[in-house]
Amino acid sequence: MPVTPPPIHFHSPYERPTIEPSYAGYVTTSDGAQIAAFVYGDLGPLASPVAPVLMLHGNGEEHGIFGPTIDAVVATGRAVVAIDSRAQGKSTRGRNPLTYELMADDAIAVLDALGVVAVHVLGFSDGGIEALLLARDHAERVRSLTAVGANLTPEGVIEDEDWDLKGAIAAHRAWYKRWTTGPVPGINPELLTPTPEESANTVELLQLMLDEPHIAAESLETISCPTTVIVAEFDCITEEETQAIHKAIAGSKLVVVPEAGHVLPKEAPEVITSELLATIAQAE
């Protein structure tokens, strides 16, 4: 029976960096994942007081979604370390079950491989969750935190007709099953969009948002670095969840971007850049 092709996961266009990376390479994790790491600008000496910015993207994306912000930060003379999270962008899956804690560990592995001692962290959506974990669990490595569209629990994400995770998972599962239960005459599944493998990967990534994270708000009370929590007026993150993050981190700044939706790196990169630089300035 014919199956309707599922939507491509976060496929709308965005501005990628206009500058080329000074480094692009893989960092191999203990479970075999190849994490694609990119450096824009000059990292400088190991003990440089000008710490780079670590940028962590959202579910199903890749580091290029921060394009305008990468350009702007490098223009100030500060380097950027950008990561494609495992199973996304140019990074491979590895063997361990996907968790936000695992991807936060991947970020630390990249910093270690690059010899980076400390960073200012910018995280969006899933990357915002990872940024919270880094600031909480690796405080000595994080000089400032800018968390955009982050949540603490699966219940912190609002589902509606534009954000139907369960429906998207079902569509991708059906698409995968359609092309993997047996050959279909005249069809090479690897030429389809998405391919069966891409649909299987999307199912796992979307399921992660349904199952995780489970971060106790009070556990964030140990975060002491300058912090800005950013959310959109029409975000899919509940107000209660955003307030819980903001209130748990003493002295944090809360920014609500008016007339914008969840994907702020695409919709309002100038706001992200401005607030990021202001947060960095508090730390240096």
Task: Indicate the class that CATH gives domain 23-157+215-283.
Answer: alpha beta
Closest CA to 246 of 108, 146, 157, 124: 146
* 23-70 pLDDT tens trace: 999 999 999 999 999 999 999 877 677 999 999 999 999 999 999 999
- State yes or no: pLDDT of 266 exceeds 80: yes
pLDDT of the residue at 1: 67
- Name the amino acid, one letter, at 105: D
- pLDDT band of residue 160 (cuts 50, 70, 90) is confident
Q: Is the pLDDT of residue 9 over 80?
A: no
Query: pLDDT tens across 66-87, in order?
Result: 999 999 999 999 999 999 999 9
- pTM score of the predicted model: 0.96
| Residues 184-199: tens digit of each pLDDT | 999 999 999 999 999 9
Every domain of the chain and the residues it spans: 23-157+215-283
pLDDT for res 25: 98
